[in-house]
């Protein structure tokens, strides 16, 4: 849109690095509902799908989604794109750090639409500034709303979005419906549905 408004309708071949997903390896961290949805949406792009999750998928689900389990460090080494879909907890805090960034390829892209706490932002800034990874797409940050002076905002190889894509107009009836259904279940003495796994035992 910015290009159209600026009347910039042409591009010079080779001036920018634009890449296709076809033939690339995408590593998905977190194979819960969202991670599996991402895998389904990537199915038409001719990519190899790796995944890491502490709870492995059944052989049937993995085959259906064409996802191959991979230990986390190996996933970082092999992936052209790493996309995060893990919850924020003690074991996932700053899983993206100096050590794991050093495992990634220089042409790799990191995407975080999950939780800001998954990334050590200082380590990511350093890796991006030194071009030790190619780029990052960030929808969420360690501090939200993020500090306008966040150094990541100064980098040209970072794409930013405001962590506001969830509440679509169509989602509100579902949200209220789920809430009312859970109120009725609890009133009947039944356990609520859609409980975050870490809270199930509390």
Of 71, 98, 144, 198, which is the active-site residue?
Answer: 144
Q: Token match 């064409």: residue?
A: 66
Q: Report how far apart the first and last C-alpha atoms of the chain are (Å, whole number).
A: 48
Instruction: Quote the CA–CA distance of 80 and 201 in Å, as a whole number.
Output: 37
Of 85, 115, 117, 121, which is the active-site residue?
Answer: 115
Q: Which of 117, 123, 167 is nearest to 141 (CA)?
A: 117
- Is 105 an active-site residue? no
Given a contact cutoff of 8 angstroms between Cβ atoms, the answer to whether 142 and 115 are in contact is no
Given a contact cutoff of 8 angstroms between Cβ atoms, the answer to whether 158 and 152 are in contact is yes
- Is 117 an active-site residue? no
Of 77, 94, 105, 163, which is the active-site residue?
Answer: 163
- Is 94 an active-site residue? no
Q: Print burial letters for 77-99: b (CB count within 10 Å at least 16), e (below 16).
A: ebbbbbbbbbbeeeebebbbbee
Show which residues are catalytic.
Answer: 115, 144, 163
């Amino acid at each position: 849109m910015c290009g159209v408004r600026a009347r910039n309708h042409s591009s010079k071949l080779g001036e920018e690095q634009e890449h296709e997903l076809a033939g690339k390896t995408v590593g998905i961290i977190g194979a819960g509902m969202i991670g599996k949805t991402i895998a389904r949406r990537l199915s038409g792009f001719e990519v190899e799908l790796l995944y890491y999750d502490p709870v492995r998928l059944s052989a049937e689900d993995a085959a259906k989604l064409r996802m191959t389990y991979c230990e986390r460090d190996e996933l970082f080494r092999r992936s052209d794109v790493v996309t995060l879909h893990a919850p924020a907890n003690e074991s996932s805090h700053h899983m993206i750090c100096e050590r794991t960034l050093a495992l990634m390829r220089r042409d790799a892209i990191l995407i975080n639409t999950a939780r800001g706490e998954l990334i050590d932002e200082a380590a990511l800034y350093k890796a991006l500034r030194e071009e030790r990874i190619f780029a990052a797409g960030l929808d969420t940050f360690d501090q939200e709303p993020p500090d306008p002076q966040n150094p990541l905002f100064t980098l040209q190889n970072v794409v930013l979005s405001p962590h506001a894509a969830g509440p679509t107009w169509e989602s509100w009836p579902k949200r209220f419906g789920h809430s009312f259904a859970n109120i009725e279940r609890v009133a009947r003495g039944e356990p609520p549905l859609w409980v975050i796994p870490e809270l199930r035992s509390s």
